[in-house]
Structure formats: structure tokens, C-alpha cells
Copies of this chain bind each other. A is one copy, B any other.
Amino acid sequence: MTLHQFLWRAENVFGDQEIVSRTHEGIHRYTFADYGDRVRKLASVLDRRGYGEGDRIATFAWNNHWHHELYFGVPCQGAQLHMINILLPDSHVQHLVDDAEDAVLVVDPTMLDALEAAYDEAAFDSVELFVVMGDTVPETDLEPVTDYESFIADGDPDYEFPDVSEDQPAGMCYTSGTTGMPKGVEYTHKMYWGHTMGLLTGELGLTARDTAMTVVPMFHVSGWGRPFATLASGAKQVLPGPNPEPEDLARLVESEGVTQSAAVPTVWRGLLQYASEADPDLDSLEYVLSGGSATPKGLIERYREDLGIELVSGYGMTETTPITHLAETIPSNVDADGDERTATRAHAGLPLPGVQLKVVDEDGAEVPWDGESLGELLMKGPWVTTEYFNAPDKTERSITEDGWLKTGDIARVTENGYTDVVDRLDDLVKSGGEWISSVELENRLMGHEAVAEAAVIPVEHPTWDERPAAFVVVEDDATADDDLRETLRSFVAEEYPSWWVPDTIEFIPAVPKGATGKFSKIDLEDQYVDDELRARVREQAPGQR
């Protein structure tokens, strides 16, 4: 079970199928057969330079055909592909290159400045060569450096790949944890193999009839595995290149007849907005997969009603290669429409064949699948990791003795296995032995017209252990006073039990944010949680229970 089998199928059965790539130079187009020749040239050059098992070839790039060639060429040759997230802060990029000891770093020319900014001599010590995608080397301080086309120019298109064990690492990505340094996760050939087959199954299973546009960045958890799945299935592959705007995506759908795509909800919100203004022809598009964060029901509705496109949630994480869940239909709801259909599609999803899950409370006991009970989501399966790279302590903390991954996500599951992730375990407020989801409270508060931003954090409490405190930024036209406080408390209480209502609501000018734009709850706590606030919470809380 190695990636060679899928490349073989792409080259031999679907040699005429196309890969369309939007690059910094325009639209590039070639067949799977051409692709295969170039993948072999690349692999032969890596081989000739002595790379193989244990060597990491890193990428710092958008979705294009060069990146795609590395996806198969590197692991099939026996080396390991390390996809660096180009959106990480410089200190994280340095940590990644240093920790992974990357030997070669292949960079998108549009990301060259960013890489130069992140460059650090000590951290990049292992890098023997920089390769710039394209056929020219722009002005750069990085060295030694070459361009990708020169790099593979004298490669062998008939190169025979060596035997590679299915248990050998094929790929590697790092988590983008909001606390601490990212953790490395390695993917063996077999993990990718199982994951690829998973993406070929079910209602959204890719087939040779599909044209699949991979919008999710290939630097983000192996592009959700779609670069592998398209080749294995014979689907036409469309790669939208650097920083695609909604208009770029719409044009590619129109010109290439895209049937399926995958990206984060923000992308789909942007495309919807563009479609309502420019009215592009998106008729070919049947399914779009939305993941990375929860997909709002309103977006799912508008896709179905305005565009005739089925927007389907998915779920996964760096540790799970990543896709474990897709919000597919089951016999009892396959014919549902309206709100019921929307609710189905909005779940994080059903576990794919091969994946097993359970949800456990603080004592490790399973909670029922009743659509309500919350617990930590644990998963297990052929493409769920059983260790972190270079970090036995993190492995011990996150993997149980019998091989379950403790995801750190708080979830509830319906009786049929539809999973919803409501929060990170670290973001929960543990009040009197029960859990309160800070994310749900934040979403509720931000649903009020007077609220621009809201963050909720736990504050220690002598009786209940922790109680929620809310920090609210009001809209320009709203007045931050006690009346609004009471209004917001009532607004929360309409939807949630009274003991979920935050014990204090603090009005602040802005929520502090981290490098990726997410709320920084650590900074929030440092800035605002003092003895006075704790006292306020202490006074208020008992009355709430």
C-alpha cells in the first residue's frame, strides 16, 4: 500500500486526463502522462543526489503543478515531503525547518520574500539547496539556489522507483497549535493510501467523471489529501495557484467544468458574495466540501438555494492525515430537504470507513451518542497518527495505551454518528464538574447586534472550580452599559442553561489576537483577569446555580 500504485494508475489508465494549474505565470496545462514523466525526472534527480529514506524535502508554496509533482515524486523516490505552512509566523517556520532538518526547500516564487524574511542561519543549517518553482531564479539572498526546471532538466522520465516500504514516512506536516510550538506529524505511505481510498468512497467519492479543484492549500495538511485522491481516481485536477480570489475560482469553475471542490468556509463565503454580484456560471459544480472550521448553516442554505450547489462539512486534523468525517447523508435523511438537509450537511460529519471514534468524559468513560452529551473526541484508524515527531512526551500525553488519539476537541455525537465539534478542550470552562463551551458562548454573544467581538475564558472559582467570564467589544453605535450587560445575559439564557451565562461581562476596546488572527486568550487573561475581576465572578456565580 504505497503511493506508487496510485501514480501507476494515473499514468497508465488515465494518461490523457488533465492537470490544470494557475501559476504566477498564467494557466499551465498538461496530462497525467506528462505529469508522470516529470515526477520520474524529479525522483531520478533526488536519487542521483543521494536523497532517499530519512531525507526531508520541504515545500513553501501555493497549489500548482510543481507542488503536485513533489507530492508524488518525493515519497515515491523514498524521501519524505514536508509541507511548510506559509502562513506561520517566522519563528514557527524556523522551528519547523530546524526540527525536521529539511535537506532541500522548494519555494514558490511568490513566497520568496516571505521565506527570506523567515530565514535564520542556525535554523536553516540543514538546508543544502533552495529550489524556486519555475524556470528562473529571481534575485535572492538564499543560497545555494536553482530553479525547478533546471533542477529536473536532466532527470530520467523512465526512472524506475525503488521499492519503498508502506511503513516508511511519505509526508509530514506540523500542527498550527495556538499554544506553544507546532508539533510534527509524519504520514506513512500506508496512512496516505488508506486516506486516499477513504476520499474515493461514499456520496462525495471522487471518480474519473469529476473535475476536482483543490482550493484548500497544499501547504495545509497535505491539501486534505486531494492531490493524491484525484490521481488515484482519475479525476481532472485544477490547482488555483497563488492567493486565489473568488473571481479566479469562479473563472476556473467556468473554464474547466469543476464538479467538486474543497476549502475553508471563508473561501465559500467569498465565492457566494462574488456570485451574487457577477453571476458566473457555476452549474458544473455539484459538491463543495467545507472544513477547517464549523460551516454556518446559513451558508449551506444559500449555496443550495441560490447556487444549486451542495455544501458539505468535513472534519479532520493534522494528526489524522486529515479527513476523518464528511457530512454525508444516510438512508433516514437522504431524501430530506430544507432545514433537515441543512442540519445534516452542517455536522462535522460521519466517520469515513476505517475510522473509529468515541467521546469520553473527564474520567475516560464513554458518553452516550445522544446528540447532546459532550466529551473529548477520541479517534483511531489507519490514517490516525499514533505518535508525534521527535516528541515522546507529547505522544504520551495525546495517545492512549490502546492507540486512541485524544484530539483535544470537545464533541457531541448523534445516535447515527454525526459528530459536532463544539470547542477545544483547552477552551472549555469546567464548572462544577460540567463543561461550558466558550466557543458556543462567543458565537451566541457575537450573534447579538450590539456585539462586534466576544471572547470567553474561564476564571477560577472556589466552589465551581471555573466560571465563564466574557469580554465584549461593542459595535460603534452601541452603548456599553449595565443595560446592555443584562440584555446580553438574557440573550444567552434564551438558548443555554442559566449556569452557562457568563458571571461577568467586561467591555473592552479590542480582543487581543495572535499571529494567525485568532483570539489570544492567554493575552486576554494577562491583561484583564485580576483579583478584582475574580471577586466579581465569585460573588455572582453561586446565585446562578
**Which A residues form the contact surface with B (CB < 8 A)?**
1, 5-6, 8-9, 12-17, 193-194, 196-198, 200-203, 205, 207-209, 232-234, 236, 328-332, 334, 350-351, 353-356, 369, 381-382, 415-417
Contacts and interface: CB of A to CB of B under 8 A. Distances in A.
Given A13-B416, A205-B207, 12 more contacts: A8-B356, A9-B353, A13-B350, A14-B330, A16-B331, A16-B416, A17-B331, A197-B198, A200-B200, A202-B207, A203-B207, A209-B331
B13 A232 contact: no
Given A15-B416, A194-B1, A416-B15, A351 B9 contact: yes
A205 B205 contact: yes
A97 to B, nearest CB: 33
Interface on chain A toward B: helix, strand, loop, or mixed SS?
loop
Contacts of A332: 16
State the number of copies, please.
2
Given A13-B330, A13-B350, A17-B331, A201 B201 contact: yes
B194 A205 contact: no
A201 B328 contact: no
Contact of A209 (B194, B203, B234): B203
Nearest to A418: B13
Nearest to A414: B13
A234 B355 CA distance: 14
Contacts of A17: 331
B381 A5 contact: yes
B233 A353 contact: yes
Given A328-B208, A334-B209, A13 B351 contact: yes
A203 B234 CA distance: 11
B381 A234 contact: no
Contact of A208 (B5, B12, B331): B331
A310 to B, nearest CB: 14
A309 B258 CA distance: 28
Given A17-B331, A328-B208, A355 B5 contact: yes
Given A351-B9, A355-B5, A233 B202 contact: yes
Contacts of A201: 197, 200-201, 205, 207, 233
8 contacts: A5-B354, A6-B354, A9-B351, A193-B382, A194-B197, A196-B353, A197-B198, A209-B329
B234 A354 contact: no
Given A16-B332, A197-B201, A331-B17, A1 B416 contact: no
A196 B353 CA distance: 10
A416 B334 CA distance: 35
Contacts of A198: 197
A207 to B, nearest CB: 5
Query: Which of A5, A198, A369 counts the most B-chain CB atoms under 10 A from its CB?
Result: A5
